[in-house]
Amino acid sequence: MIHQNTEAGRTISKSHSSFRKIVVSSLIFLIIAGFLLDIMLGSVSIPFREVVRILFEQTSEQTAWLYIVQKIRIPKAITAVLVGCGLSVSGLQMQTLFRNPLAGPSELGITAGAALGVAVVMLSNGHITSMPAIRQLGISGSWLIVVAASMGSALVLFLVVLIAGRIRDNVVLLIVGVMIGTITLSVISIWQYFSQPEQLQEYILWTFGSLGGVTDYHLYVLAGTVIMGLVLAFASSKALNVLLLGENYARSMGLTVGWARAIILASTSLLTGSITAFCGPIGFIGIAVPQLTRSLFNTSNHRVLIPCTCLIGTLLMLACDIIAHMPGSQTVLPINIVTSLLGAPVVIWIIVTRSNLRASFV
Amino acid sequence: MTARKSILTAVDLSIGYRLSKGQTYKIAGHLQLNLWQGELVCLLGPNGAGKSTLMRTLAGLHPALEGYISITNLPLSDLKPQDLARKLSMVLTERVEAGNLTVYELVALGRYPYTSWLGTLTAKDVTKVYEAMDVIGITAYQHRSIQYLSDGERQKVMLARALAQDTDMIMLDEPTAHLDLPSRVEMMQLLHQLAKKTQKAILLSTHELDLALQAADKVWLLLPDGNLQVGTPEDLVLKGAFESAFARNGLHFDQATGGFVLHRDNQGPVIGLSGHKDLVFWTRRALQREGFRIETDQTNAYRIEALFTNNQPDWTLYQNGISVQYNSMAELLAALQLWKNN
């Protein structure tokens, strides 16, 4: 009897995992295609054969193409991969930790916290938060920005966690998160109010978000921080799985909840903080990608979810970047506009299909 | 037969809350508790008596004010969370809402204290998970997502998860609270069999008095004054412990039936009742509901005789020597109401 059941169970899970393998391999294929496409397309069109040659032989007919691909487009595509992975995974962690399908880095005001962290550093320097300003800093300066942004997001996250301990209602928590985000942004606004018009323009450009301009050691700093955050996230996947049952159950199964929460918060702050510092506040990826992954893979197991959100997040970010460059034209749309255009309908879809949002965590 | 193993011991335990400035609010003190293997113990008591606090204190989730608790002869305070999780598993009242989680996956989470840092299940873990699902009888729907389960099925899944945790003791906080009557009876039966079959110690708090009295090997009755009565259900009933525990206006614990009686302080007219015992039982309930006081005295001026004629119930109402026959309770009650109102 027991053996029969076990057999039946294994066959079903086998067909399940073969479906997953198909999805994962097609995702990887699409990501490679998207990566190449992202390098090929842009205001200057470079033929596919040349792109491959530059990638594998590091030579090209035109030195301008070599420079564009190596110094601009590859760093930008790698940044897209890092942003896609980082924001999606931090969104996933927040949704599980707060047991709230609408939680995400920008929704709970975490990106606003990161912006505040960046602003504080810049203010003490007498400059304004902007990519050019960050770029002018040396390697120690970019680390400083990452630390400040991560601390800013950790501060907001910590506040949200404190309030979440008192308020169990999903929607109320979300409103509180939005309010904390508003307060943080208004602090930045006060400082903006006393700024020069040209500085303001730079700040507003920063809020549009940009994947470009993260080059050289900035890219190493961003990559190092995001990988650290992802490793922490993966290490906490077992804890995230038991946290699905709620903190009390998790505790009864031997989880030290405070410790687990600290690791998850550290991971989320590092991911959101570093990405926001370099690329501006990019919205909706953090909330939409975990939802898409859950419905595609039909699981809540974080050991599957974390790698798979990385894949989908990467693919979506690459797609957004391709769309932002509007192939065939000279115009470049800000990345934040594209992610919002794609992401906002997903959020509306979640709210409409989950009419019992208040009671359930999906 | 080997001697039974003690699973949980509490000596001179005081439970309650620490307020500010070193003050304490004590709920109950000097509790001496023992839980043996294979024993099903029901913790009963009126709302607000401190059942939850006692459960949480015994589970190490809430600090004790004074006293000593040990689980399998190891002091609770010395056990690390991971070690405690291998000795004590819990089923809580909170509803688990985790979409996209199958029954199998949820039960497998019970193996948490045994798996590596990544949570990989070994062959032994998988065997334990299937054993737990087989004992509870949920293997048939192991691949169903838990959001599509009924409350009763869901509670069984949570119990299977606690079982997969492979502990000496399972604690359940009001496991029957959200269930309908058949599921409640089934859950209590299951817990009773589980204690006997697996020799685990099971402690559960419940408001299900009549079910608890039937299923429990022992009852811990926590009174509002902080007094804890321990004994077999029958001893406690016969000692009158329940009457004092639930002493409230209009509520009366009937020792004869082991349940509560709603209409005890009737002031209505007196009526005699006799006949077949089943019919007398149900007629008495109907009459009490209507406010009559019942006497078994046959000489009363007004009396009812309830008998089966050709396997059909019928009631004869004698009023001052006149007798009228009724074929249903409704007719009888209608006639009595007329008389009562005049």
DSSP state letters, B196-263:
HHH--EEEEE-S-HHHHHHH-SEEEEE-TTS-EEEE-HHHHHHHTHHHHHT-BTTBEEETTTTEEES-
Range(s) of the domain holding residue A148: 73-353
Query: Position of tokens 């009876």?
Result: B185
Q: Is the pLDDT of residue A158 over 70?
A: yes
Q: How far is A265 from chain B (nearest CA, A)?
A: 18
Residue A16 lies in a domain: no
Higher pLDDT, A339 or B49: A339
Assigned token pair, A85: 């992975």
Could you give the strand order of the β-sheet that contains B74-75, starting from the edge strand earlier in sequence?
Answer: B24-36, B6-18, B66-71, B74-75
Residue B50 gets the label, from left (phi > 0), alpha (psi -120 to 50) or beta, of left
- CA distances for A192 relative to A98, A156, A202, A278, B17, angstroms: 32, 20, 11, 19, 50
> What is the spatial distance between Cα B177 and Cα B211, in angstroms, rounded to a whole number?
13
Check if A292 contacts B (Cβ < 8 Å).
no
Contact, B135 vs B53, CB < 8 A?
no
Residue A253 lies in a domain: yes
pLDDT of residue A101: 79
Check if A356 contacts B (Cβ < 8 Å).
no
pLDDT of residue A351: 67
Looking at the partner chain, which of B83, B113, B119 has a beta carbon nearest the beta carbon of A241?
A: B119
> Are B104 and A9 an interchain contact pair (Cβ–Cβ within 8 Å)?
yes
Half-sphere exposure at residue B162, Cβ-oriented, CA atoms within 13 angstroms: 28
Q: Which DSSP string corresponds to A312-332?
A: HHHHHHHHHHHHHT-TTSS--
> Are A362 and B99 an interchain contact pair (Cβ–Cβ within 8 Å)?
yes
pLDDT of residue A103: 82
Residue A21 lies in a domain: no
Residue A176 lies in a domain: yes
Higher pLDDT, A310 or A61: A310
Q: Is the pLDDT of residue B90 over 70?
A: yes
> Hey, what domains does chain B have and what are their CATH numbers?
270-341 (3.30.160)
Query: Position of tokens 């508003």?
Result: A182
Over residues B216-228, mean pLDDT: 89
CATH of the domain at A262: 1.10.3470.10
First vs last C-alpha separation in chain A: 33
Over residues B164-182, mean pLDDT: 91
> Are B131 and A2 an interchain contact pair (Cβ–Cβ within 8 Å)?
yes
Residue B76 gets the label, from left (phi > 0), alpha (psi -120 to 50) or beta, of alpha
> Are A254 and B147 an interchain contact pair (Cβ–Cβ within 8 Å)?
no
> Are A245 and B96 an interchain contact pair (Cβ–Cβ within 8 Å)?
yes
> Are B117 and A235 an interchain contact pair (Cβ–Cβ within 8 Å)?
yes
- A223 CB neighbour count, 10 Å cutoff: 16
> Are B109 and A245 an interchain contact pair (Cβ–Cβ within 8 Å)?
yes
Q: Is the pLDDT of residue B301 over 50?
A: yes
Q: How far is B96 from chain A (nearest CA, A)?
A: 6
Higher pLDDT, A257 or A6: A257
- B288 CB neighbour count, 10 Å cutoff: 17
A2 pLDDT band, cuts 50/70/90, is very low
Contact, A301 vs A294, CB < 8 A?
no
Q: A36-45, A80-89, A97-106, A134-143: which has the highest mean pLDDT?
A: A80-89
Beta pairing class for B201-205 and B40-44:
parallel
Residue A7 lies in a domain: no
> What is the spatial distance between Cα A232 and Cα A362, in angstroms, rounded to a whole number?
23
Q: Taking CB atoms and an 8 Å cutoff, what residues of chain A touch B110?
A: 253
In this predicted complex, what is the ipTM? 0.80
- B160 CB neighbour count, 10 Å cutoff: 27
User: Nearest Cα to B288, choosing from B261, B252, B254, B263?
Assistant: B263
pLDDT of residue A359: 39
Residue A136 lies in a domain: yes
Residue A262 lies in a domain: yes
Over residues A211-220, mean pLDDT: 80
Percent of chain B with pLDDT over 70: 95
Q: How far is A211 from chain B (nearest CA, A)?
A: 33
Over residues A262-289, mean pLDDT: 88
Over residues A40-55, mean pLDDT: 82
User: Nearest Cα to A85, choosing from A264, A277, A275?
Assistant: A275
Check if A362 contacts B (Cβ < 8 Å).
yes
Looking at the partner chain, which of A6, A245, A254 has a beta carbon nearest the beta carbon of B84?
A: A254
Percent of chain A with pLDDT over 70: 83
Higher pLDDT, B101 or B21: B101
Q: What's the CA dihedral at B258, B262, B268, B273 to 10 degrees?
A: -30
Percent of chain A with pLDDT over 90: 22
> What is the spatial distance between Cα A95 and Cα A284, in angstroms, rounded to a whole number?
13
pLDDT of residue A140: 58
Q: Taking CB atoms and an 8 Å cutoff, what residues of chain A touch B133?
A: 5
> What is the spatial distance between Cα A137 and Cα A195, in angstroms, rounded to a whole number?
20
Phi/psi of residue B101, nearest 5 degrees? -110, 125
Contact, A276 vs A134, CB < 8 A?
no
Residue A127 lies in a domain: yes
Domain count, chain A: 1
Higher pLDDT, B119 or A200: B119
Assigned token pair, B53: 């606090």
Q: Is the pLDDT of residue A9 over 50?
A: no
Query: Position of tokens 């595509």?
Result: A77
- In chain A, the largest separation of any two C-alpha atoms, in whole Å, equals 77
> What is the spatial distance between Cα A45 and Cα A209, in angstroms, rounded to a whole number?
23
